Amino acid sequence: MVHIDTAIAGIQLSNPMMLASGILDENGYTMLEILKKGAAAVVTKSIGTSERTGYKPPVVVPIQGGLLNAVGLANPGIDNFRDEMKIALSGNRPVFGSIFGATADEFLQLGLKMEEYGATAVELNLSCPHVAGYGTEVGSDPVLVEDIVNTLKSNLKIPVFAKLSPNVTDIVEIAKAAQKADALVLINTVRAMSIDIHARKAVLTNRYGGLSGQAIKNVGVRYVYEVSKETGKEIIGVGGIENAEDLIEYIMAGASAVQIGTALYTQGKDVFSRIAAGLVEFMESEGFNRISEMIGVAVE
């Protein structure tokens, strides 16, 4: 008998898949729908201290192998997010509140609100690649990363996840700076751009954006492997997962669970049930009984 349940930071998950931040998760009802479609948990859109409208369209464009986006951290602001959390939590599955800020104090205020709203854990977005002053600008400074993670760990009761960026020179240095986090989330999108050759200009209004989807899967697998090997920390893998084989690669590279974003656009919302079926089939044919038997088996 095959069991596909797993755990991250002591939180039980009925299967290893959760919804990634930024995709269908600014609204409580769409998060509920994703849970009904088979995700074991959802991560919310990254929420900041106040409402932001983000960049002018186009903010998401399909390109070969995935999506290019520069949404600009558009979000309703933390005070307007209480009701969405309540609705998402009515699904009786874990809801992870993603937050972004420019300083440790901003992250702390947001983290305390998410805890008050009932979030199962907070996910710190230290990695958005396209907004000045936030995300990677914060997440590529190991001193600031350590300060933010340690401040939240000392003041919150719920687990703290740190979502790191691939757009840094030395991921292990940043991962070590975040070592007090209960789990690391790897990776956010890869900085990229696309040119409209007829218009003779960048496709995105922000010019640069973040690449997600199939094209970044092997980048993500490598980051998970390297950070797992060098730090031994619990990891949630994310980037380009579309099928059971992709998920299993991440698990064998050291992830205990994964997140799925772009595949919801490219494969539809049934992606969770399809991957779960493929996972069971693989485990049966390869003689694995539990996910824990596969975590990190490729790491040497």
Ligand X SMILES: Cc1cc2nc3c(=O)[nH]c(=O)nc-3n(C[C@H](O)[C@H](O)[C@H](O)COP(=O)(O)O)c2cc1C
Under the binding rule (CB under 6 A), the answer on residue 45 touching ligand X is: yes
**Of the candidates 9, 40, 60, 89, which one interacts with ligand X according to CB under 6 A?**
60
Query: Rounded to the nearest whole angstrom, what is the least distance from the CB of residue 267 to ligand X in the complex?
Result: 10
Q: Should residue 119 be labelled a site residue for ligand X when binding is judged by CB under 6 A? A: no
Interacting span for ligand X (CB under 6 A) from 10-18, 20-28, 110-118, 150-158: 20-28
Considering the complex, state which of residue 222 and residue 290 has its C-beta at the smaller distance from ligand X. Answer: 222
* Among 64-72, 197-205, 229-237, 266-274, the segment contacting ligand X (CB under 6 A): 64-72
Q: Residues 18, 131, 175, 238: which binds ligand X (CB under 6 A)?
A: 238
Active site residues: 128
Instruction: Enumerate residues 6+ apart whose C-beta is below 8 A from 137.
Output: none
Q: How far is the CB of 200 from ligand X (least distance, A)?
A: 25
For ligand X, the closer of residues 168 and 288 by Cβ is: 168
Restricting to residues 181-220, name those near ligand X by CB under 6 A.
Answer: 188-189, 212-213, 216
Q: Verify binding: residue 261, ligand X, rule CB under 6 A.
A: yes
Give least dist CB 75 to ligand X, A.
7
Q: Which residue is nearest to ligand X (CB)?
A: 22
Nearest distance from residue 285's CB to ligand X, in Å? Answer: 26
Q: Write the CB contacts of 192 (distance below 8 Å, at least 6 apart in sequence).
A: 68, 208, 209, 210, 211
| Crossing angle for the helix pair 142-155 and 104-117, to the nearest 10 degrees | 30
Member of 21, 120, 165, 167 binding ligand X (CB under 6 A): 21
Distance, in Å, from the CA atom of 17 to the CA atom of 230, rounded to the nearest integer, reads: 24
Among 6, 15, 49, 69, binds ligand X (CB under 6 A): 69
- Closest CA relative to residue 234, chosen from 261, 257, 218, 217: 257
Contact between 22 and ligand X by CB under 6 A: the answer reads: yes
Residue closer to ligand X (CB basis): 20 or 294: 20
In the shown chain, the binding pattern of residues 133 to 172 toward ligand X, with x for contact by CB under 6 A and - for none, equals ------------------------------x---------
Q: Which residues bind ligand X (CB under 6 A)?
A: 20-23, 45-46, 60, 67, 69, 71, 98, 125, 128, 163, 188-189, 212-213, 216, 238-241, 260-263
